Amino acid sequence: MQIIIVGGGKVGSTLAEQLSKEGNDITVIDRRYEVVQNLLNEFDVMGIVGNGSSHKVQIEAGIENADLLIAVTGSDELNLLCCLIAKKAGNCQTIARVRNPEYNEEMRFIKEELGLAMAINPELASAVEMARVLRFPTAIKIETFAKGKVEVLKFKIGKGSVLNNIQVSQIATKLKCDVLVCAVEREDDVIIPTGNTILRENDIISIVASPKHSSQFFKRINIVTNQVRNTMIAGGGEIAYYLTKQLLNMGIEVKIIEKDKARCEELSELLPKASIILGDASSQQVLMEEGLANMDSFVTLTNMDEENILLSLFARRVSNMKVITKISSIAFNDVINHLDLDTIIYPKYVTSEYIMGYVRAMKNSIGSNVENMYRLVENKVEALEFVIREKAPVLNKTLEQLDLKENLLIGCINRNGEIITPKGQDVLKLGDTVVVVTTNTGLKDISDILRD
Amino acid sequence: MNYSMIRYMLGLVSCFSAMFMTLPMLVSVIYKEKSGFSFLAVALFSLAVGILTARKKPQNRKMYAREGLVIVALSWIVLSIYGALPFALSGDIPSYVDALFETISGFTTTGASILTDVEALSNTCLFWRSFTHWIGGMGVLVFIMALMPAKDSSSMHIMRAESPGPSVSKLVPQVRNTAMILYLIYFGMTLVEITLLLIGGMPLFDAVTVAFGTAGTGGFAVKNSSIAGYSVFLQGVVAVFMVMFGVNFNVYFVLLRKKPRQAFRSVEFLTYIGIVLGSSLLIAISILPMFPNAFTAFHQAFFQVGSIMTTTGYATADFNTWPALARTILVMLMFVGACAGSTGGGIKVSRVILLLKGIKKELQMVCHPRSVKKVKVDGHVVEHEVIRSVNAFMVLYVVIFVVSLLIVSLDEKDLVTNFTAVAATLNNIGPGLEIVGPTGNFSSFSILSKFVLMFDMLAGRLELFPIMMLFVPATWKRV
């Protein structure tokens, strides 16, 4: 697919990397020469230095033949203008990043009038993801497939857990519940388990199950799954606002610590039910005074990644609460994963994943058939949802007959809404959707799961 | 430095080298010549070496600009070493140094020869000589990239190192597709030329080899008289195609997209055509007394200008005997060279444009020290980085030129010969003046000089930096 990305910042470059790896023709437009140069050096993309909302520049980028334009510059107005011009200049779909809450409230009108295919607000999207985690604090990450009928949950095996030293194949027999372990993170490695893999303490495992089975599973392994009762948020930015709004709706008490007085007043106006504290969240005293030790959960949303990490580490020391850390820009994933940080949310990945989801859906109409895709472990493991269509090479075969690639596993089969945890004798039928978990990134079609 | 990736890529190049040699083998079967066996032997050898070295795929496929440059430089050296073997084995060119000179001259599309009698060579070897031009013209690694399913974005580093021009831009977002489009245009234009030459009555073998030489802007002919023996029509076809292959391929790509206005408006293209026509006219006027009519004079001038400017090096006349003005213009054209992104060599028209614009800007800075001015080409601002690299290129170019000239002058030949010999090799042209003129050759140089000239040819084709990288100790450090 021909895709033009305007803006080569954090989200823009993440998108350029992912989309070009999936075989799309990517052209990136950015005003800054160095940014374009760096992207050209790193990824297989074409770059143009210029103003993305200029008609001339868009023509140069090939807007006439483009299928999609994604505007992710720092400015909402510029993004909207890019999309508007692209819509008139070429016959393409447009996606804009719009983060101003004022526009957000009028999103429906803007989308309709400007003909946007999608508008994404990174703060809102991140907040939604955080709220989902707080609703189910045991999990580090939750993704849903098949319109919510299947969940992929990620959590850590704690001390003295029943799962400690258990063989994956024994889970079904010992615990008598229908879940499937689809990925095990152990130190720096990620294993796609077979029946013989033995789980250990401190492993981070991902399971596939229907919501009913997953809650049953968590009960069997003695993990409480109730949503948190209260939350402390460090930093009162946009994400904090969106998150608080949702948490209050869910009946969770929220306490926001923000050091800017004007912002505090603004927040208290917008969120009358939340308690707003004027103070520096990086001060230990302030945190303790506000009762961090007795909180169920703690979300760090300051503008400094380093500060967020330190605050979260501190919170983990104080008590065994649920902690969510926001990391905006620093890379060093390997180091960060070694820290005891619980859930980490990267707004740039959240944003790019939303957009990727749309791009894949668009591609469906032209060949590829990934319905849905999530990264379980950053850049290492993906969970993809495929539909079995006519002429698929796996059609009407039992799973035993399929010569699957290494490090690949079929997590579940959804047959007309019925969720089947796959066994060797199960047959893939027309119209089924399957969730495939794999370390081989970049699968495009169900046939890609087979060995070449 | 990712050594395993370099090993792997060189292994691939070895395999491709074997693949390239299957074509001369076919020719030897057609003409029932024995020299095919030497190609077979070398092909089997390089295939074996290639399979052994490329068998293990490197775990870390990450390449940076440094690896790209080194891979390109080493690939060309490896390819030339293999390519020279059949000449020496078959006895067509008994001395291996001479064979290596001839092969490097072929791959770098120089066309400088050490052969005194070209027609004495077997058809197989003649074909191989011309075929090296064709492969070298667009680039060996670009060819490999067009065929290999490469997922790594880092292959752009290779393309940038191998393609000529101050800043290499892709035609389409994916490197592989760009490489494929380039080769398709290249292949198509070569086919058209072969057809036209056949229509003009040239024998098939000559048509194919001459077309290869034109397409790569190489200049190896299969006759001692180069192109002079063919009819005026054939010479005209060759001249026009030489000029066409000296044009930035981007222009053709834009043309294929049916945007002729945009294609022909490029400053580089217009300057290039302007220089070709202008200098042809000047030379035609200066050589008018030597020819019976103005048409012949212009025809000869145009052919020679096209041949020298695009750095091809075919000849239809011995311009050694021409007036000083004509010869001086030709020597100057040697340095200008063809357009960036073409198959030609030299400094490149686009660099000359940038240099001149840079000078204009600096002069203005002297008058108005506080003035801020950006250099623009085709309506786009040229970043300071690009100007800086063009200046660096020029400095390095002069240094290499001077040092080469100094070493070659040890042979006690006259200055014009030495000067034009270095110019003709560093700019990948082929013939120079005096002893190395269109009727002469490079056989009388000492072995040392030959190695210096071989170095110049490789450095010139790869735009200096990849080859110079090999001599920088920091390149070879692991970190």
CB contact (8 A) between residue A41 and residue B65: yes
Determine the distance in angstroms separating the CA of B154 from the nearest CA of chain A, rounded to an integer.
7
Q: What is the pLDDT of residue B278?
A: 95
First vs last Cα of chain A: how many Å apart?
Answer: 24
Q: Residue B405 half-sphere exposure, CB side, CA atoms within 13 Å?
A: 15
Q: What ipTM does the predicted assembly reach?
A: 0.78
| Chain A residues in contact with B385 (beta carbon < 8 A) | 33, 37
Query: In this structure, how many other beta carbons lie within 10 angstroms of the beta carbon of residue B115?
Result: 21
Q: What is the pLDDT of residue B67?
A: 86
Place of tokens 């912002």: A263
| Chain B residues in contact with A21 (beta carbon < 8 A) | 151
> Quick check: A172 pLDDT over 80?
no
The DSSP string of B158-180 is HHHHHS-SSS---SSSSHHHHHH
The mean pLDDT value for B330-343 works out to 91
The mean pLDDT value for B233-255 works out to 92
Give the start-to-end residue ranges of the domains of chain B.
3-245
Task: Return the structure tokens found at B49.
Answer: 């070496």
A230 class by beta-carbon count within 10 Å (0-12 exposed, 13-18 middle, 19+ buried):
middle
How far from chain centre, in Å, is Cα B234? 22
Q: What is the pLDDT of residue A367?
A: 57
Q: What percent of chain B has pLDDT over 70?
A: 98
How far from chain centre, in Å, is Cα B29? 29
Higher pLDDT, B430 or B168: B430
B255 class by beta-carbon count within 10 Å (0-12 exposed, 13-18 middle, 19+ buried):
middle
CB contact (8 A) between residue A44 and residue B174: yes
Correct CATH for A367-449 of 3.40.50.2300, 3.40.630.10, 3.90.1150.10, 3.30.70.1450: 3.30.70.1450
Return the axis-axis angle of helices B123-138 and B3-31, rounded to nearest 10°. 140
Q: What is the pLDDT of residue B151?
A: 56
Q: What is the pLDDT of residue A135?
A: 81
Predicted TM-score (pTM) of this structure: 0.81
The mean pLDDT value for A424-438 works out to 85
Q: Any idea which of A85-99, A157-171, B63-77 has the lowest mean pLDDT?
A: A157-171
Model confidence at B157, pLDDT cuts 50, 70, 90, reads confident
- For A141-157, give one letter per residue: b (16+ CB within 10 A) or e: bbbebbeebbbbbbbbb
Q: Any idea which of A23-32, A55-64, A316-325, B140-149 has the lowest mean pLDDT?
A: B140-149
Instruction: Report the C-alpha gap between B125 and A236 in whole angstroms.
Output: 77
**Was B123 annotated as part of a binding site?**
no
> Quick check: B235 pLDDT over 90?
yes
3-class secondary structure, B311: coil
B133 touches A at CB < 8 Å: no
First vs last Cα of chain B: how many Å apart?
Answer: 6
> Quick check: B102 pLDDT over 60?
yes
A128-151 per-position pLDDT tens digit: 889 888 888 877 777 777 777 788
Q: What is the pLDDT of residue B385?
A: 84
The mean pLDDT value for A229-237 works out to 91
Higher pLDDT, A41 or B356: B356
Q: Any idea which of A390-404, B125-139, B222-236 has the lowest mean pLDDT?
A: A390-404
Q: What percent of chain A has pLDDT over 90?
A: 22
B125-154 per-position pLDDT tens digit: 999 999 999 999 888 888 888 877 655 556
Task: Select the residue from A44, A48, A68, A69 to test the B interface by mutation, using most B Cβ atoms within 10 A.
Answer: A44
B472 class by beta-carbon count within 10 Å (0-12 exposed, 13-18 middle, 19+ buried):
exposed
Q: What is the pLDDT of residue A348?
A: 87
> Quick check: B282 pLDDT over 90?
yes
Q: What is the pLDDT of residue A438?
A: 86
A329-346 per-position pLDDT tens digit: 877 877 887 888 888 898
Handedness of CA A156, A148, A233, A274 (dihedral sign): negative
Instruction: Report the C-alpha gap between B154 and B447 in whole angstroms.
Output: 38
Interface of B with A in 173-202 (CB under 8 A): 173-175, 177
| Chain B residues in contact with A45 (beta carbon < 8 A) | 153, 173
The mean pLDDT value for A287-299 works out to 90
Q: Any idea which of A83-92, A265-274, A389-398, B33-42 has the lowest mean pLDDT?
A: A389-398
Q: What is the pLDDT of residue B14?
A: 93
> Quick check: A81 pLDDT over 70?
yes
Q: Please tell me the CATH superfamily of domain A230-345, with its number.
A: NAD(P)-binding Rossmann-like Domain (3.40.50.720)
B240 class by beta-carbon count within 10 Å (0-12 exposed, 13-18 middle, 19+ buried):
middle
HEC string for chain A: CEEEEECCCHHHHHHHHHHHHCCCEEEEEECCHHHHHHHHHHCCCEEEECCCCCHHHHHHCCHHHCCEEEECCCCHHHHHHHHHHHHHHCCCEEEEECCCHHHHHCHHHHHHHHCCCEEECHHHHHHHHHHHHHHCCCCCEEEEEHHHCEEEEEEECCCCCCCCCCEHHHHHHHHCCCCEEEEEEECCEEECCCCCCECCCCCEEEEEECHHHHHHHHHHCCCCCCCCCEEEEECCCHHHHHHHHHHHHCCCEEEEEECCHHHHHHHHHHCCCCEEEECCCCCHHHHHHCCHHHCCEEEECCCCHHHHHHHHHHHHHHCCCEEEEECCCCCCHHHHHHCCCCEEECHHHHHHHHHHHHHHHHHHCCCCCEEEEEEEECCCEEEEEEECCCCCCCCCCEHHHCCECCCEEEEEEEECCEEECCCCCCECCCCCEEEEEECCCCCCCHHHHECC
For CATH 3.30.70.1450, list the domain ranges present in chain A: 367-449
Q: Residue A271 half-sphere exposure, CB side, CA atoms within 13 Å?
A: 24
Model confidence at B47, pLDDT cuts 50, 70, 90, reads very high
> Quick check: A361 pLDDT over 80?
no
Q: Any idea which of A158-172, A297-311, B130-144, B157-171 has the lowest mean pLDDT?
A: B157-171
CB contact (8 A) between residue B155 and residue A42: no
> Quick check: A260 pLDDT over 60?
yes
Could you tell me if A97 and A334 are in contact, meaning their C-beta atoms sit under 8 angstroms apart? no
B149 touches A at CB < 8 Å: no
Which among B65, B170, B383 is the nearest to A46, CB-wise? B170
> Quick check: A230 pLDDT over 70?
yes
Q: What is the pLDDT of residue B152?
A: 59
Task: Return the structure tokens found at A222.
Answer: 């003695």
CB contact (8 A) between residue A41 and residue B151: no
B164-199 per-position pLDDT tens digit: 776 667 788 888 888 889 899 999 999 999 999 999
Which among A25, A37, A42 is the nearest to B174, CB-wise? A25
**Was B311 annotated as part of a binding site?**
yes
Place of tokens 């490090």: A407
> Quick check: A103 pLDDT over 70?
yes
A115 class by beta-carbon count within 10 Å (0-12 exposed, 13-18 middle, 19+ buried):
middle
CB contact (8 A) between residue A46 and residue B383: no
Which among A20, A27, A37 is the nearest to B153, CB-wise? A20
The DSSP string of B174-225 is SHHHHHHHHHHHHHHHHHHHHHHHHHTT--HHHHHHHHHHHHTT----SSTT
Which of A115-129, A206-220, B145-159 holds the top average pLDDT?
A: A115-129
Q: What is the pLDDT of residue B63?
A: 79
> Quick check: A366 pLDDT over 70?
no
**Was B312 annotated as part of a binding site?**
yes
**Was B428 annotated as part of a binding site?**
yes
Higher pLDDT, B371 or A367: B371
On average, the pLDDT of chain A sits at 85
Determine the distance in angstroms separating the CA of A64 from the nearest CA of chain B, rounded to an integer.
12
Q: What is the pLDDT of residue B309?
A: 92
The mean pLDDT value for A293-297 works out to 89
CA nearest neighbour of A122 among A102, A103, A99, A143 = A99
Query: In this structure, how many other beta carbons lie within 10 angstroms of the beta carbon of residue A401?
Result: 11
Domain A2-120 annotated CATH 1.25.40.10 = no
User: Which residue from A minimizes the CA distance to B153?
Assistant: A44
CB contact (8 A) between residue A41 and residue B385: no
> Quick check: B23 pLDDT over 80?
yes
Determine the distance in angstroms separating the CA of A227 from the nearest CA of chain B, rounded to an integer.
44
Q: What is the pLDDT of residue B355?
A: 93
The mean pLDDT value for B205-226 works out to 91
Interface of B with A in 335-394 (CB under 8 A): 380-381, 383, 385
User: Which residue from A minimizes the CA distance to B65?
Assistant: A41
Q: What is the pLDDT of residue A186?
A: 85
Task: Return the structure tokens found at B213.
Answer: 């030489």
Place of tokens 């740039």: A348
Could you tell me if B36 and B29 are in contact, meaning their C-beta atoms sit under 8 angstroms apart? yes
For CATH 3.40.50.720, list the domain ranges present in chain A: 2-120, 230-345
Which among A37, A42, A49 is the nearest to B153, CB-wise? A42
Q: What distances in angstroms separate CA A157 from CA A70, A139, A189, A222, A345, one per listed residue?
A: 40, 10, 16, 12, 20
> Quick check: A374 pLDDT over 90?
no
